[in-house]
Amino acid sequence: MSLSTACKVLIVEDEDLIAHDVARRVESLGHQVVATVATAEEAVEKAGQADIVLMDVHIDGKEDGIEAACKIRERHQVPVVFLSAHTDRATLDRVMAAGPFGYLVKPLSPASLETSIELALHKHKMDRQVAEREALLRTTMASTADAIIVTDARSKIHLMNAEAEKLTGWSAAEAHGRALDSVVRLIEPQTGADFGDPVPLAILKG
């Protein structure tokens, strides 16, 4: 989705006047409001129809917007941008734990609203592409008989397949984030200096 493409927006706001104002602003930017709801239950139900959710933090019902956002992320993988008049540390900490794609402070300005929607959609698209590539890599690694470890640019382990687990004695979960040389012992490729017994292992470095 390009940044200029209209998208479907779900608005979660329990104050009618504010909800109407946000909907009007969203539509003036060329986007479509698929629904305006006031509770977490309705938000989770309707989120699958939207490309993005604008979520008030404090809404009606037993669950607030942050709890609703967590469920939306799990069930629908739809990006959520929070709307709130609150900027206190406790609220921000809870919002951050929900994996937000943006945080707008009321009252909203048209420029900040449009920018937040565009950035959230772009980030969501990039995140999905990364997730798809990683899923493909995991499938490939699982289907090979070779031991494979994937590291980041700092040689911290990111992924390893079942054969690598057997070879090293480490589970993928235990090895994740550890330095490569703390899990396997290698021979230095240029000097041939022996750092331990060499292992039949493919290492893919990010």
Q: pLDDT tens digits, residue range 34-70?
A: 999 999 999 999 999 999 999 999 998 899 999 999 9
Identify residue 22 by its one-letter amino acid code: V
Residue 202, Cβ density class (10 Å: 0-12 exposed, 13-18 middle, ≥19 buried): middle
Q: Is the pLDDT of residue 108 over 90?
A: no
pLDDT given at position 197:
46
> Counting beta carbons within 10 angstroms of the beta carbon of residue 8, is it exposed (0 to 12), middle (13 to 18) or buried (19 or more)?
middle
Which of 10, 13, 30 shows the shortest CA–CA distance to 21?
Answer: 13
Residues 6+ apart with CB under 8 A from 93: none
pLDDT band for position 206 (cuts 50, 70, 90): low
Going along the chain from its start, the domains and CATH numbers come out as 8-132 (3.40.50.2300), 144-205 (3.30.450.20)
Per-residue confidence (pLDDT) for residue 20, from 0 to 100: 95
